[in-house]
């Protein structure tokens, strides 16, 4: 699996993300990290902007709402398999992690690790879930926020797809940048391997 991990939105290497995606260039957009919000107009505008940004680089975005698969996990595998890439947006990392588990998406994604063609892209919460665990991110995202329909169990284990923690929005013009400083201090104090990404920065790699 190819990785395109951005601090904020598409970052400064958007063309590189577009070039990674092959086939019909269908991208499943996952926004469940924002399920804590009830500002539906803002959510609608945000999705429109995500889609416009992806379309501008020649990709074909479609929405995947993991909540639709909380009760029928088996159906999600076929949906994910129909896409060439995923784009997982920022929000609350712990909410996103819950959604991934309740829908079975976490197991599906781990099966994709050996797929050299498949691309995982995202930013902020969408990349923090790939780390070994979510310790340190709790200083930025509230672990105890539970949207309607979600399990109230807090999941501290990340997917372990990358072997380090991630501090997005590092020393950037972002509302969470000050709190991210505390996450970085936590990583250092607890000897947790990490990378810090400023907004615009992108980490790329693969998992095979």
Q: 3-state class of 143 per DSSP?
A: coil
Question: In whole angstroms, how far apart are CA 160 and each of 58, 68, 69?
Answer: 30, 25, 23
pLDDT at site 73: 83
CB 16 within 8 A of CB 4: yes
Nearest CA-CA partner of 145 in 91, 94, 99: 94
CA atoms within 13 A on the CB side of 121: 32
What are 137-153's pLDDT values in tens digits? 999 999 999 999 999 99
Count the neighbouring beta carbons within 10 Å of the beta carbon of residue 80: 20
pLDDT at site 71: 86
CB 59 within 8 A of CB 14: no
What are 89-136's pLDDT values in tens digits? 999 999 999 999 999 999 999 999 999 999 999 999 999 999 999 999
The tokens of 97 are what?
A: 């992690």
DSSP state of 98: H
| Domains of the chain with bracketed CATH | 2-206 (3.40.50.880)
What are 24-73's pLDDT values in tens digits? 999 999 999 999 998 999 999 999 999 999 999 999 999 999 999 998 88
Count the neighbouring beta carbons within 10 Å of the beta carbon of residue 51: 18
Q: What pTM value is reported for the model?
A: 0.96
User: What CA–CA distance (Å, rounded) separates 149 from 123?
Assistant: 24
pLDDT at site 74: 84
The tokens of 129 are what?
A: 């879930």
In this model, does residue 208 exceed pLDDT 70?
no
Phi, psi of 135 (to 5 degrees): -60, 135
Query: What are the start-end ranges of the H helices in 21-176?
Result: 40-56, 74-81, 93-103, 105-111, 125-128
In this model, does residue 167 exceed pLDDT 90?
yes
Nearest CA-CA partner of 125 in 145, 108, 104, 149: 145
């Amino acid at each position: 699996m190819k990785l395109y991990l951005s601090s904020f939105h598409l970052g400064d290497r958007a063309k590189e993300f577009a070039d990674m995606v092959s086939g019909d260039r269908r991208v499943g957009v996952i926004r469940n990290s924002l399920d804590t919000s009830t500002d539906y107009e803002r959510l609608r505008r945000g999705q429109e902007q995500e889609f416009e940004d992806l379309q501008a680089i020649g990709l074909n975005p479609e929405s995947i709402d993991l909540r639709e698969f909380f009760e029928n996990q088996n159906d999600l595998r076929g949906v994910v398999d129909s896409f060439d890439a995923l784009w997982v947006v920022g929000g609350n990392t712990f909410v996103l992690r819950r959604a991934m588990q309740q829908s079975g998406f976490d197991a599906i994604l781990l099966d994709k690790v050996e797929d050299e063609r498949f691309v995982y892209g995202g930013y902020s919460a969408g990349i923090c879930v790939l780390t070994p665990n979510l310790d340190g991110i709790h200083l930025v995202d509230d672990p105890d926020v539970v949207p309607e329909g979600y399990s109230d169990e807090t999941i501290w284990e990340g997917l372990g797809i990358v072997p380090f923690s991630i501090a997005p929005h590092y020393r950037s013009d972002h509302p969470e940048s000050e709190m991210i400083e505390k996450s970085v201090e936590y990583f250092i104090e607890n000897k947790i391997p990490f990378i810090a990404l400023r907004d615009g920065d992108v980490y790329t790699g693969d998992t095979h």
